[in-house]
Structure 1
Amino acid sequence: MVDADRFIQEAIEEIHEEVGGANAVIALSGGVDSSVAAALAYEALGDRLTPVYVDTGLMRKGETDQIRETFDYMHSLRVVEAKDRFLDALDGITDPEAKRHAIGEQFIREFEREAKETDADYLVQGTIYPDRIESEGNIKSHHNVGGLPDVVDFEGIVEPVRDLYKDEVRDVARELGLDELVAERMPFPGPGLAVRIVGEVTEEKLEVAREATYVVEEELEEYDPWQAFAAVLGKATGVKGDNRVHGHVVAIRSVESRDGMTARAQELDWSTLQRIQSRITGELPNVARVLYDVTHKPPATIEYE
């Protein structure tokens, strides 16, 4: 386990050394990884750090408002509305790796644009050790590692938590005094809801994934899962009222884990599953059926793409 106090001091010194007297932007997503990286970089750089949150249109329900509220103490916070650019970049793409690379490249271009406006030479991001293992091990390309384009217009990319596992990042977050909502927040993938949609990403599928995930997170809060969400798999025939519908198939995923490298599907009460499916099919008229994913990691990954 990490010695959180010692790590914080060493990370701040490392950021000082890497960035020197230059300016930097921090890729802020609202998750614990980027929040810890932002807090460390803010301690090291102060006003020379510009936090940038990119609203990709692939985020959880209410995410942008949550970001503004949580990080309002960083007065230089910039919120970039980039939904249309990300959806254009994903248009027609169905391959999971191609999706991740398209998202990774678009993220970098957004941060490059913001860096030019703030005269920043460095990018700080919250890459953690499992991101590197899965990207380098050819399991899947994380948008901030294997999904990065070959040419990046920064003098350097600074990754202060790159050697930590998720549980260690949480320890550092607590030591930093970050709000419990941030320190204990459920993981959310960097590519967002795009990797919870099997096949092409569309606005309709995004809305289904967003609303269904909101239901799952709300209903499973008492189970305290490491991660829980809904994914959109495809379409199937169903019946609503007296009418046939050809609607979306939604999979519920809820797992227990320590660091995300392995995970076990949670055993949920039948009544809980029925309540979730009733809400999802009732609140989303274009959903025909709901499934529960009982697969552990391995052989599955936690996310779908």
Structure 2
Amino acid sequence: EVFSLQKTISPMKDPEAFLKEAYDFVKNSVGANEKVGLAISGGIDSTVVAEILKNAIGENLHVIYMDHGFMRLIDGREESDIVAEMFSDFPNFIYRDDVRDRFYSAVRGIEDGDQKRAAFRDVYKSILNEEMELSCCEWTADGTIKPDLKETRAGIKLQHNVDLGFSQKKLEPLASLTKQEVRALARYLGIPHLRQPFPGPGLLVRAVGLFSREKLRVEKEVNDIVEQEYKQFMIEHCGKEMVIDWETGLQVPFQAFAATFDYRMAKPKVFDIHGLRVIRGTYLDTRVTGLVDEGGRYERLYQKPFVILSGGPIYTCSYYMNKSNALKIAKKTGASRILYRIRQKESGDFAVAIRALNSVDVREAMPNFSGNVPEHAAIRILENVPDVRMVLFDATPKPPATVEYE
């Protein structure tokens, strides 16, 4: 049984009123002696839920964090260590640092993105259930928000924390909120609110295709470089790592990250895109997610990304960022997205795609290549990560592409 709070007022307009509504919702749902097991990731969503539950039910809250091995490096430091510090003062904080091999074994040999998410989800559910039973929790909770529910139930992306079917009752205080509404709530609570969204399965779905520990190691290094470069640019030019228009909800950048692929390329071809321009390109031999427009209704598809080899400086890729042009190229090439080659060297087993987006609510998003940041990141990656042969910039808006690759 799922108990979801349906907001009557947005935290963007009145965060104090929403919090009162959330506290009342929790207190009226959870019995006086009942315990709640909250799965946290260290992200904004689950951190806000942790604060709401701590204030509403106190020591009946049990916070559960599992180090699955797919968290990022942040300025060279393991993110799991940072999360453990964040929640160390919670009275019932459970830190599972012994489960990496269970996750790695579950996803080994799987190439399909949805199947990887499903395997991750099974292990996640099993470990969470173990801890809730040990703590005698009658309830489970997490940071599920509105886009999570929509994407899972529309079949676009399988979220690891939606519709898990626990025997415990489930509490969803944020289920009716968008990401920018959660940010407004976090800002009001004094929680760091500029952290970028991060997928539940972490870097598993950014180390694209077959899982290997080597690919995961490379992904951690290149993702850290890309995040550092965008963060540095934003701080130097705007004084903060992300700029949010609190009236419209626009977040710049909404996300900036790297994805790592096996370097397997098809033979290059020349394409005439409906007489608009001739481009020389090829395909990465790995299927990734995209969206197809079916009369204004978007459905997910899995196809190989198209790599443009004939481009000039990075700013010239703005042509492909136009939604109409992107859809034409996707239709002509049969690709799920358009990757623009920035730099390449002679050797290396992996290709890296830089994905940076501005967005209001994730339903639509536009690529961000501010200040030639992708070029600077590409230089650092090729100089410092020997296993990378090619660095690309993902010039595809959403739609037709999804934010993540799997």
Tell me the TM-score normalised to structure 2 length. 0.69
Give the direction of change, closer, same or farther, for the CA distance of 1:30–1:239 in structure 2 (3 Å limit): closer
Task: Quote the offset at 1:94 in angstroms.
Answer: 1.2
* Aligned ranges 1:184-199 → 2 under 5 Å: 184-199=194-209
Task: Quote the offset at 1:140 in angstroms.
Answer: 1.1
Find the residue that maps to 1:211 and give its secondary structure.
Answer: helix
Q: Which amino acid aligns with 1:264?
A: M
Task: Quote the offset at 1:246 in angstroms.
Answer: 4.0
2:50 aligned with 1:29: no
Counterpart residue number, 1:168: 181
Counterpart residue number, 1:201: 211
Counterpart residue number, 1:261: 363
In the aligned structure 2, how far is the partner of 1:185 from the partner of 1:274? 23
Q: Find 1:58's aligned residue among 70, 92, 105.
A: 70
In the aligned structure 2, how far is the partner of 1:196 from the partner of 1:157? 29
Residues 34 and 125 of structure 1 are in contact (CA less than 8 Å); yes or no, is this contact kept in structure 2?
yes
Residues 228 and 252 of structure 1 are in contact (CA less than 8 Å); yes or no, is this contact kept in structure 2?
yes
Find the residue that maps to 1:127 and give its secondary structure.
Answer: coil
2:20 aligned with 1:9: yes
Find the residue that maps to 1:56 and give its secondary structure.
Answer: coil
Q: Which amino acid aligns with 2:263?
A: K
Counterpart residue number, 1:107: 124
Deviations 1:243-295 (A, max 9, x none): x534200000110012222111013334x333211211222111111101111
In the aligned structure 2, how far is the partner of 1:231 from the partner of 1:23? 39
In the aligned structure 1, how far is the partner of 2:203 from the partner of 2:374? 22
Task: Quote the offset at 1:73 in angstroms.
Answer: 2.4
Residues 247 and 289 of structure 1 are in contact (CA less than 8 Å); yes or no, is this contact kept in structure 2?
no
Give the direction of change, closer, same or farther, for the CA distance of 1:140–1:36 in structure 2 (3 Å limit): same
- Count of matched residue pairs: 294
Q: Find 1:134's aligned residue among 140, 148, 151.
A: 151
In the aligned structure 1, how far is the partner of 2:208 from the partner of 2:84? 30
* Aligned ranges 1:203-222 → 2 under 5 Å: 203-221=213-231, 222=233
Deviations 1:40-91 (A, max 9, x none): 1111121111111111101111211211222222132111121111111111
Residues 59 and 91 of structure 2 are in contact (CA less than 8 Å); yes or no, is this contact kept in structure 1?
no
Counterpart residue number, 1:277: 378
2:242 aligned with 1:230: no
Q: Find 2:142's aligned residue among 107, 110, 125.
A: 125
Counterpart residue number, 1:77: 93
- With a CA cutoff of 8 Å and minimum separation of 6, indicate the structure with the bigger relative contact order: 1
Task: Quote the offset at 1:98 in angstroms.
Answer: 1.1
Find the residue that maps to 1:226 and give its secondary structure.
Answer: strand
Task: Quote the offset at 1:168 in angstroms.
Answer: 0.3
Q: Which amino acid aligns with 1:266?
A: N
Give the direction of change, closer, same or farther, for the CA distance of 1:6–1:94 in structure 2 (3 Å limit): same
In the aligned structure 2, how far is the partner of 1:144 from the partner of 1:239? 38
Task: Quote the offset at 1:236 in angstroms.
Answer: 4.8
Which stretch of structure 1 is more off in the superposition, 186-195 or 7-16? 7-16
In the aligned structure 2, how far is the partner of 1:119 from the partner of 1:282? 51
In the aligned structure 1, how far is the partner of 2:356 from the partner of 2:194? 16
Which stretch of structure 1 is more off in the superposition, 280-289 or 248-257? 280-289
In the aligned structure 2, how far is the partner of 1:48 from the partner of 1:54? 20
Tell me the TM-score normalised to structure 1 length. 0.91
Task: Quote the offset at 1:233 in angstroms.
Answer: 2.1
Find the residue that maps to 2:370 and give its secondary structure.
Answer: coil
Specify which structure has the higher proportion of strand.
2
Counterpart residue number, 1:298: 399
Structure 2 residue runs without a partner (length 5+): 1-9, 235-241, 243-252, 266-342
Q: Which amino acid aligns with 1:55?
A: D
In the aligned structure 2, how far is the partner of 1:70 from the partner of 1:259? 27
In the aligned structure 2, how far is the partner of 1:239 from the partner of 1:118? 52
- CA RMSD for the aligned pairs? 1.8
Residues 137 and 168 of structure 2 are in contact (CA less than 8 Å); yes or no, is this contact kept in structure 1?
no
In the aligned structure 2, how far is the partner of 1:45 from the partner of 1:138? 35
In the aligned structure 2, how far is the partner of 1:185 from the partner of 1:202? 27
Residues 129 and 163 of structure 1 are in contact (CA less than 8 Å); yes or no, is this contact kept in structure 2?
yes
Specify which structure has the higher proportion of helix.
1
Q: Find 1:156's aligned residue among 169, 178, 187.
A: 169
Find the residue that maps to 1:233 and give its secondary structure.
Answer: strand
Q: Find 1:46's aligned residue among 43, 50, 58.
A: 58
Counterpart residue number, 1:92: 109
In our comparison, the structure showing a higher alpha carbon Rg is 2
In the aligned structure 1, how far is the partner of 2:58 from the partner of 2:42? 19
Q: Which amino acid aligns with 2:349?
A: G
Identity %: 37
